[in-house]
Amino acid sequence: MVYYDFPLFIICFVFHGAACRLIGCYECCMRCLGGVPYCSLVATLLCFSGIALFCGCGHQALTETERLIETYFARNLQDYITLAYIIQYFQYVIYGLASFFFLYCIVLLAEGFYTTSAARQTFGEFRSTMCGRCLSSSFIVMTYVLAVLWLLVFAFSALPVYFFYNMDATCHTIDILTETPASINQLCVDARQYGLLPWNAVPGKACGMTLSNVCKTREYRMTYDLYIAAFAGAGIMLLALLTYTVSTTYNFAVLRYLGRKGIGARC
């Protein structure tokens, strides 16, 4: 029985139009959907959203951080010129990360389509090959290494969130103790303690009501939110890499099983 559903017909025409005319659009599309690597597809969506969130918000957060340091924590250009160069360097790294992971996720998705189709024997004579198993094992190792490295990036992205959290907690304490100015002036946030500025930077820190006013600015709130978003994006990206590791390992195990059964162990 043939179902002339237009969206299904378009899918069939693109992927397997000849077979659609022979066995019917519905049956063909069920075969096509059976070969979709859903785990890799979910990981790809997580990868795209995570890397976009991390790179986009992280890039803007670094720009706003430089502006905050320049405005409230340093008066001399030489005090924060090194920090400005480091921020610029990290922004270039972000460009490279975005490009690399965008392409790598596409490659992993394509590999997922290949291995899933081979494992389920969806497309006729298409079978597991020695090259396919070697390629899958290479992707497993690469993805595992990237997941370990990205775990370090995830931990590193928590550092600015920790800094701004402490700053926000100090500002909250200042707002509570507004009736005792003497104790307020003793509450400070020193950027030099976090390595953002050299120890001879002037003033290098913000105290009392000055710090409270900094926390109330739009630049501070936006920078804090951007770092939180970048941290969340790094977490999503880590989840995507772990999902890729699980899916590629499973697909490789199935391909190896088919190879032991003697199904098309050729290259």
Residue 205 in 3-state DSSP? strand
Per-residue pLDDT of 166-179, as tens digits, reads: 999 998 888 887 76
| Furthest CA-CA distance within the chain | 87
Q: How far apart are CA 206 and CA 187, in angstroms?
A: 9
Residues 84, 68 contacting (CB under 8 angstroms):
no
* pLDDT, tens digit, 9 for 90 and up, residues 190-212: 888 888 888 888 888 888 888 88
Residue 266: per-residue pLDDT: 36
Burial of 89 per CB tally in 10 Å (0-12, 13-18, 19+): exposed
Give 97-115 pLDDT, tens digit per residue.
999 999 998 988 887 776 6
The amino acid occupying position 215 is C
The yes-or-no verdict on residue 162 having pLDDT over 70 is: yes
The helix (run of H) or strand (run of E) holding residue 135 is helix 130-176
Q: What is the percentage of the chain residues whose pLDDT exceeds 90?
A: 35
CA–CA separation, 91 vs 86, rounded Å? 9
- The helix or strand, by DSSP H or E, that contains position 188, with its residue range, turns out to be strand 188-190
Task: Quote the tokens at residue 29.
Answer: 């599309």
Is 8 a residue whose pLDDT tops 80?
no
Q: What is the pLDDT of residue 207?
A: 87
pLDDT score of 250: 77
CA-wise closest residue to 114 among 138, 97, 98: 138
Residue pair 164/188 in contact by the 8 Å Cβ criterion: no
pLDDT in tens, 43-74: 899 999 999 999 999 999 999 998 998 888 88
Q: What mean pLDDT do residues 18-23 have?
A: 47
The residue with greater pLDDT, 257 or 212, is 212
